[in-house]
Structure 1
Amino acid sequence: MDLALYQPDIPQNTGTLLRLGACLGVPVHVIGPAGFDLSDKALRRAGLDYLDAAVLHRHAGWTAFLDWVEAEGRRIVLATTRSDRPYPAHAFLPGDVLLLGRESAGVPDAVHDRADVRVTIPMRPGLRSINVALAGAMILGEALRQTAALPEPGQPSA
């Protein structure tokens, strides 16, 4: 299981998701361009001391990321408000890549259409969305639960 961030806007959310990936043993992919300085120094400020434990892959853009996905034979699972499939109802696979969109705009139609699966977080009517880092944590937790990939307490993750 991998986590991917499409052109993230907010360094604190990226830092939070890098910390999540570090703690759960999940590689994080950042698909550029980001809306902030993506240097190690800037990420260290947002990711605190967890950055050294994170597995971070940087992709210059969508095409470079797609090249990686296709070479690895992975499936893209997009978290989106434009889906009627609740994430707990989806059967996740260990090789899935959970893709999160930009905080300000989600993903463009071409990215949305390329996703193999689109899932959503069921919410009360009239409310727009959940913070991207919280949404990523919710969906990733379910994906890891389904695939039995959560690290055992006190043990390093695979």
Structure 2
Amino acid sequence: MNIVLLEPEMPANTGNIGRTCVATGSRLHLIEPLGFKINEKAVKRAGLDYWDSLDVTVYDCYQDFLEKNPEAVKKMYMATTKGPHVYTEVSYEPGAYIMFGKESAGIPEEILKDHPETAIRIPMLNEIRSLNLANSVAVVLYEALRQNSFSHMQLTGKPRSFEW
């Protein structure tokens, strides 16, 4: 899977998302401008020692991302509080791109209008503006992985002190 962050602002969120991407074998795409420097301690602290294992690419702008990932246009899901579809109602194909907007504003409506069938939302109460970005990524990414039978992922654990 591919996680796309459009202009993320908070290094801790991006670090946590990076760790989630490493844990799931997903690629992380960061679209500038970023609200931090990629080498900031806060990013690496949140990603802990996994940051060096992260498959991450940084793009100058949204157009640069599209030019370098032409297949994304047909496999793009837009996670937004404005989405008409619940994130569990769509089918995520292998290699899907799931985009999330910046923490303060989300994905711009000029981008959303081109994706009415794949604009998705996480249900929540009306009084809540949105979930934390890192939490939102984890919720939607794991649904996409579940729909693909968690291919290539370890499905069982092994206790140290006893056998299952």
Q: Aligned letter for 2:141?
A: L
Two-structure CA RMSD over aligned residues (Å): 2.1
The gaps in structure 1 that reach 5 residues or longer are: none
Could you say which residue in structure 1 is the equivalent of 2:118?
A: 117
Q: Of the candidates 144, 152, 155, which is equivalent to residue 154 of structure 2?
A: 152
Query: Which piece of structure 1 moves more, 120-129 or 67-76?
Result: 67-76
TM-score by length of 2: 0.85
* Structure 1 residue 57 displacement after superposition: 1.1
Equivalent position SS for 1:89: coil
Q: Is the 8 A contact 1:6 1:100 kept in 2?
A: yes
Corresponding position: 1:135 with 2:133: no
Partner Cα distance (1:123, 1:154) in 2: 31
Q: Is the 8 A contact 1:74 1:97 kept in 2?
A: no
Decide whether aligned partners of structure 1 residues 72 and 83 sit closer, same or farther in structure 2, where only a CA change above 3 A counts.
closer
Equivalent position SS for 1:122: coil
Structure 1 stretches of 4+ with a deviation exceeding 4 A read 71-74
Q: Is the 8 A contact 2:11 2:40 kept in 1?
A: no
Q: Is the 8 A contact 2:8 2:102 kept in 1?
A: yes
* Structure 1 residue 145 displacement after superposition: 0.4
Could you say which residue in structure 2 is the equivalent of 1:28?
A: 28
* Structure 1 residue 95 displacement after superposition: 2.1
Q: Is the 8 A contact 2:85 2:121 kept in 1?
A: yes
Could you say which residue in structure 1 is the equivalent of 2:10?
A: 10
Q: Which has the higher helix share?
A: 1
Deviations 1:88-139, CA, capped at 9 Å, x for gaps: 1111111210101100111212222234610000112222211111011000
Q: Percent identity?
A: 33
TM-score by length of 1: 0.88
Partner Cα distance (2:71, 2:144) in 1: 22
Q: Is the 8 A contact 1:69 1:75 kept in 2?
A: no
Partner Cα distance (1:38, 1:12) in 2: 11
